[in-house]
A and B are shown apart, each in its own frame.
Chain A
Amino acid sequence: MIMLEQVTFTYPEATSPVLVDVDLHVPEGELCLVTGVTGAGKSTLLGLVNGLVPHFTGGRLQGRVTVDGADTRTHPPRELAHLVGVVGQDPLAGFVTDTVEEELAYAMEQLAVKPAAMRKRVEETLDLLGIADLRHRPLRSLSGGQQQRVAIGAALTCQPRVLVLDEPTSALDPTAAEDVLAALTRLVHDLGVTVLVAEHRLERVIQYADRLVLLPGDGQLRHGAPEQLLATSPVAPPVTQLGRMAGWSPPPRSVRDARRQAGPLRQRLAASAPPPTPPPRQSPPVLTARQVTVRYGATVAVAGVDLDLAVGQVVALMGRNGSGKSSLLWALQGAGPRHAGQVRVRGVDPARLPAHQARRYVGLVPQTPADLLYLPTVAAECAQADQESGATGGTCRQLLDQLLPQVPTDRHPADLSEGQRLALVLAITLTAAPTVVLLDEPTRGLDYRAKERFGAVVRRLAHTGRAVVVSTHDVEFVAAYADRVVLLADGEVVADGPTSEVVAASAAFAPQVAKVLAPQPWLTVAQVAAALATEPVTTPGAA
């Protein structure tokens, strides 16, 4: 269905090609998962399929890309619209109309589908994706998962043979992501649509994939059956890492696969236990919040939350989209609204301080770090940060180098990678030396490697005498790096306790390792590896 033959692609003004002499054939009806490190060309590969690359982006394409026999060289994206449906990362940015029904019909209108047929297909699509009750709703009023399903529906109404999705679940909470993925697998199984999907968080999609495409970052491309590639892949979901460590062959892709092979491993681990979580230090809390309430008009976003933060702790703030995580963080910092309750940081209320003093108590890295950046180079941003924090020159740059070495000084912040930009904004925030550091969804858009590095940074912040709060949907990240989890629902705290207790007990939020090894209380591959390393070698094949 999709054929790439000896494709080399170079972006305009780039010195080296993103993809070099790449071959790929995706047969009809497959779900093909594309993964790799940031900047390895995932988006480029997806764009090649419907001709957005190079028709829209510019650049030099060598080789041949065909979809169902149509060469993208001679067919611009609009001429392939009936063949390839595209769903972007941010569904809201791609919406042309403003209600669900009209959005579903938009592409068909462009293709001049007959009104009667259009009407019928819209109804079918509404049912297929389970969004019939949303049909008249304004698109902007939908939740992230609903928006993503509408975007998929809008691509489907033209009955394309191929569906291309770029990180469709990156902004979604685990449950909404499941909804979207369930819709996708249904398309593959029922309609025989060929699906090409890029995703950082392999653990979400890999179990559904028929084929895995790995972009290691050197312009090459490896593809094949997931089991085969996962055995050696540098990026792998925790469940596969666990399997590789335990010597299972083929390495498992889903919790179910792993669980069926995990019996012996559970026996081996029965004797040992994960290192006990260090008891919460008896240090007095550095931040106390009592009955914090935030509302927007009639909607109550945060409803009377009590929270104590102690130095040296990494707290994960979890909860579905719209549960009030961001509002809480902003209220704690003092920059966002707070309608009732009080916040004390080392005895003062940051909301009552002028902004430049408040940030010495509480630093916040917002969901879109780019909102803080406005100067043309990294160096200028750093110099400005030193100046506005009253720090000695070079402080910010030094912090940045500690967080992430080798961020190019003369680069425009907009041209940095996601991880680099996050590090820059974090460095700017830390220049003011806040005691409490709040991070609003920092892990989205980070690949495995960047996430690991970022996790280490978070731990180091806690060790150097700060209280850290990370709001995130990423359960694997929480399991690996957080000491304590606070779970929000509808603006209220529904659970607050050590990570092992809160996360392991939850169906939606349990990390893969916990699911595989339940009822034993393991959370991460690293814990299991450490336990296996200290154990006397009795079974052959143990790593």
Chain B
Amino acid sequence: MSIPRALHPGAWWVWALGLAVAASRTTNPLLLVLLLAVAGLVVATRRGDAPWALAFRMYLLLAAVIVAMRVGFRILVGGGAGDHILIILPELPLPEAAAGIRLLGPVTAEQILSGFYDGLRLATMLVCVGAANALANPKRLLKAMPGALSEISTAVVVALSTAPQLVDSALRVRRARRLRGGRDRGLRAVHRIAVPVLVDTLDRSLRLAAAMESRGYGRTAGVSRRTRAVNGALMLVGLLGVCVGSYGLLDATAPPLLGAPMLTAGVLVAVLGLGLGGRRIRRSVYRPDRWRAAELAVAGCGIVAAIALHVPIVLSFTDLHPPVTPLTWPTLPPLAAVGVLVAALPAVLAPPAPVTMPTASATPVRVPKETHR
């Protein structure tokens, strides 16, 4: 329905974080599976062919590992609460000091199930973050950072692009080691590789720094120490507020004052700090991503999902945590389910990712052209 273009990375992140917040609110496996399906569907339909998009698989794998570990731990030190004993494992005797901890022993269905629910919740949140990573270009996200953070984002971009060069350089030196016999072992071999690589990297960094300097980087950075301190303090306090606020919001047992109000206050202070800090930076952005209808729709869908799972708890008319004792089949709360399904709309609402050109990334780990000092 729409022309392919890259969506603002911020929109994808808002959407994904909305899903993650929703996931954090429930241990209902049906809802969680629905969330996973929604995230998977949107990623499958709207991700591009960039390398970061292919990392989604890794997140799924990691999520599976988390679930397995959670269940495994419940079996190992589960305590055997519940009546439905599935299997009785031999209990490992522990010394007196560790009284109250039971290793293995009877394994109950309740204990496995509660481990599974818990693990699934964590895994779903992780997959949501993975979805954001797969859908949003991390470099464009850094570009969308407010001016005050531009120095940090430049540093990150430089680090990201230097990493492959470092790998190249290490491969090259390792190969060259054979030319001198390469019979060293242990520390000497490390020395033999590390020294040329470090010399090379240092050299390169100096050249990059010189290039950035000559191209006007940090042109208007001259600010008084006092303003910088005030900005820094504002940002720090603001971010602290954001952290505490999000904790309060995500932890349903926290006092309500610690949630939304704290988050809002934190965001306000941080924005103030960013605004003040951004004023001193005079730079522009080439082809900035803009918030257009599609961006707003995508972000909105995520927020709807978060709210849909928030409301039942506040109004306490549905329990999103199905009980494990007694063992009952979980039911799908209709309102929450609809909310989660809304979050699947970006699969149609968002424009498809543009196909990047067939890159020459098929080029081998070619030993790069080097220069002389």
In the assembly, what is the distance between CA of A144 and CA of B370, in Å?
10
Instruction: Find out whether the CB atom of B362 lies under 8 angstroms from the CB atom of A297.
Output: yes
> Is B311 among interface residues, defined by CB-CB distance under 8 A?
no
Give the chain A neighbours of B93 by CB distance below 8 A: none
> Is B146 among interface residues, defined by CB-CB distance under 8 A?
no
- Mark contacts of A149-179 with chain B using CB atoms, 8 A cut-off: 1 yes-contact digit, 0 otherwise: 0000011001000000000001100000000
Instruction: Find out whether the CB atom of A138 lies under 8 angstroms from the CB atom of B361.
Output: yes
Expressed in whole angstroms, the minimum distance between the Cβ of B177 and any Cβ of chain A is 8
Residue of B139, B200, B218, B287 contacting most chain A CB atoms (<10 Å): B287
Instruction: Find out whether the CB atom of A374 lies under 8 angstroms from the CB atom of B195.
Output: yes
Within 8 A of A (CB), among B352-369: 356-357, 359-369
How many residues of A are counted as interface, with CB atoms below 8 angstroms from the partner's CB atoms? 92
Give the chain B neighbours of A299 by CB distance below 8 A: 362-364
How many residues of B are counted as interface, with CB atoms below 8 angstroms from the partner's CB atoms? 63
> Is B225 among interface residues, defined by CB-CB distance under 8 A?
no
A444 (CB) vs chain B CBs: closest residue:
B372
- Mark contacts of B267-294 with chain A using CB atoms, 8 A cut-off: 1 yes-contact digit, 0 otherwise: 0000000000000001111111000000
Q: From A105, A158, A385, give the contact of B286 (CB < 8 A).
A: A105
> Is A231 among interface residues, defined by CB-CB distance under 8 A?
no
Within 8 A of A (CB), among B123-180: 139, 154, 157-158, 160-161, 164-165, 172-173, 175-180
Instruction: Find out whether the CB atom of B179 lies under 8 angstroms from the CB atom of A372.
Output: yes
Instruction: Find out whether the CB atom of A115 lies under 8 angstroms from the CB atom of B359.
Output: no
Q: From B173, B191, B210, give the contact of A56 (CB < 8 A).
A: B210
Instruction: Find out whether the CB atom of B284 lies under 8 angstroms from the CB atom of A109.
Output: yes
Give the chain B neighbours of A77 by CB distance below 8 A: 210, 213-214
Tell whether A445 pairs with B372 under 8 Å between CB atoms, given A84-B214, A158-B216, A366-B179.
yes
> Is A388 among interface residues, defined by CB-CB distance under 8 A?
yes
B198 (CB) vs chain A CBs: closest residue:
A374
> Is A107 among interface residues, defined by CB-CB distance under 8 A?
yes
Give the chain A neighbours of B182 by CB distance below 8 A: 355-356
Instruction: Find out whether the CB atom of A115 lies under 8 angstroms from the CB atom of B286.
Output: yes
Q: From B179, B362, B369, give the contact of A90 (CB < 8 A).
A: B369
Instruction: Find out whether the CB atom of B368 lies under 8 angstroms from the CB atom of A92.
Output: yes
Expressed in whole angstroms, the minimum distance between the Cβ of A53 and any Cβ of chain B is 10
Give the chain B neighbours of A334 by CB distance below 8 A: 178
Instruction: List the one stretch of A5-13, A27-35, A95-103, A242-250 in contact with chain B.
Output: A95-103
Tell whether A414 pairs with B373 under 8 Å between CB atoms, given A138-B359, A371-B172, A388-B183.
yes
> Is B181 among interface residues, defined by CB-CB distance under 8 A?
yes
> Is A516 among interface residues, defined by CB-CB distance under 8 A?
no
In the assembly, what is the distance between CA of A414 and CA of B372, in Å?
11
> Is B219 among interface residues, defined by CB-CB distance under 8 A?
yes
Instruction: Find out whether the CB atom of A359 lies under 8 angstroms from the CB atom of B157.
Output: no
How many residue pairs bridge A and B at CB < 8 Å? 215
A154 (CB) vs chain B CBs: closest residue:
B215
Tell whether A364 pairs with B179 under 8 Å between CB atoms, given A114-B284, A119-B287.
yes
In the assembly, what is the distance between CA of A110 and CA of B147, in Å?
11
> Is B192 among interface residues, defined by CB-CB distance under 8 A?
yes
> Is A532 among interface residues, defined by CB-CB distance under 8 A?
no
- Mark contacts of A311-339 with chain B using CB atoms, 8 A cut-off: 1 yes-contact digit, 0 otherwise: 00000000001100010001001111000
Expressed in whole angstroms, the minimum distance between the Cβ of B364 and any Cβ of chain A is 2
> Is A208 among interface residues, defined by CB-CB distance under 8 A?
no
Expressed in whole angstroms, the minimum distance between the Cβ of B360 and any Cβ of chain A is 4
Give the chain A neighbours of B105 by CB distance below 8 A: none
> Is B371 among interface residues, defined by CB-CB distance under 8 A?
yes
Give the chain A neighbours of B172 by CB distance below 8 A: 366, 368, 371
In the assembly, what is the distance between CA of A50 and CA of B164, in Å?
30
Instruction: Find out whether the CB atom of B213 lies under 8 angstroms from the CB atom of A355.
Output: no
Give the chain A neighbours of B359 by CB distance below 8 A: 137-138, 141
Instruction: Find out whether the CB atom of A94 lies under 8 angstroms from the CB atom of B364.
Output: no
A412 (CB) vs chain B CBs: closest residue:
B199
Expressed in whole angstroms, the minimum distance between the Cβ of A424 and any Cβ of chain B is 12
Give the chain A neighbours of B370 by CB distance below 8 A: 90, 367-368
Give the chain A neighbours of B178 by CB distance below 8 A: 334-335, 355, 358
In the assembly, what is the distance between CA of A115 and CA of B181, in Å?
56
In the assembly, what is the distance between CA of A345 and CA of B249, in Å?
73
> Is B208 among interface residues, defined by CB-CB distance under 8 A?
yes
In the assembly, what is the distance between CA of A359 and CA of B210, in Å?
39
> Is A202 among interface residues, defined by CB-CB distance under 8 A?
no
> Is B211 among interface residues, defined by CB-CB distance under 8 A?
yes
Instruction: Find out whether the CB atom of B371 lies under 8 angstroms from the CB atom of A418.
Output: no
In the assembly, what is the distance between CA of A117 and CA of B5, in Å?
22
> Is B217 among interface residues, defined by CB-CB distance under 8 A?
yes
In the assembly, what is the distance between CA of A110 and CA of B359, in Å?
28
A336 (CB) vs chain B CBs: closest residue:
B175
Instruction: Find out whether the CB atom of B215 lies under 8 angstroms from the CB atom of A106.
Output: yes
Residue of A56, A78, A115, A336 contacting most chain B CB atoms (<10 Å): A78
> Is A428 among interface residues, defined by CB-CB distance under 8 A?
yes
> Is A122 among interface residues, defined by CB-CB distance under 8 A?
yes
Q: From A140, A296, A418, give the contact of B373 (CB < 8 A).
A: A418
> Is B84 among interface residues, defined by CB-CB distance under 8 A?
no
In the assembly, what is the distance between CA of A52 and CA of B199, in Å?
21
Instruction: Find out whether the CB atom of B199 lies under 8 angstroms from the CB atom of A370.
Output: yes
Give the chain B neighbours of A375 by CB distance below 8 A: 195
In the assembly, what is the distance between CA of A375 and CA of B364, in Å?
31
Expressed in whole angstroms, the minimum distance between the Cβ of A506 and any Cβ of chain B is 23
> Is A125 among interface residues, defined by CB-CB distance under 8 A?
no
> Is B196 among interface residues, defined by CB-CB distance under 8 A?
yes
Q: From B282, B284, B369, give the contact of A118 (CB < 8 A).
A: B284
> Is B338 among interface residues, defined by CB-CB distance under 8 A?
no
Within 8 A of A (CB), among B329-365: 356-357, 359-365
> Is B207 among interface residues, defined by CB-CB distance under 8 A?
yes
Show the binding face of A for B, using Cβ within 8 Å.
50, 52, 55-56, 76-82, 84-86, 88-90, 92-98, 101-102, 105-115, 118-119, 122, 136-138, 140-142, 144, 154-155, 158, 170-171, 295-299, 301, 321-322, 326, 330, 333-336, 354-356, 358-359, 363-364, 366-368, 370-375, 385, 388-389, 414, 418, 428-429, 432, 444-445
- Nearest first, the 8 closest Cβ-Cβ pairs linking A and B are A296-B364, A81-B216, A94-B211, A105-B286, A90-B371, A445-B372, A110-B216, A356-B181
8 contacts between A and B (CB under 8 A): A78-B217, A92-B369, A96-B157, A106-B286, A109-B286, A111-B216, A418-B373, A428-B180
Show the binding face of B for A, using Cβ within 8 Å.
139, 154, 157-158, 160-161, 164-165, 172-173, 175-183, 191-192, 195-196, 199-200, 204, 207-219, 282-288, 356-357, 359-373
Q: A371-B200, A418-B372 provided; 14 other pairs, C-beta below 8 A?
A: A78-B216, A85-B214, A86-B215, A93-B208, A93-B371, A96-B161, A115-B287, A295-B364, A366-B172, A366-B179, A371-B172, A371-B176, A388-B183, A414-B199
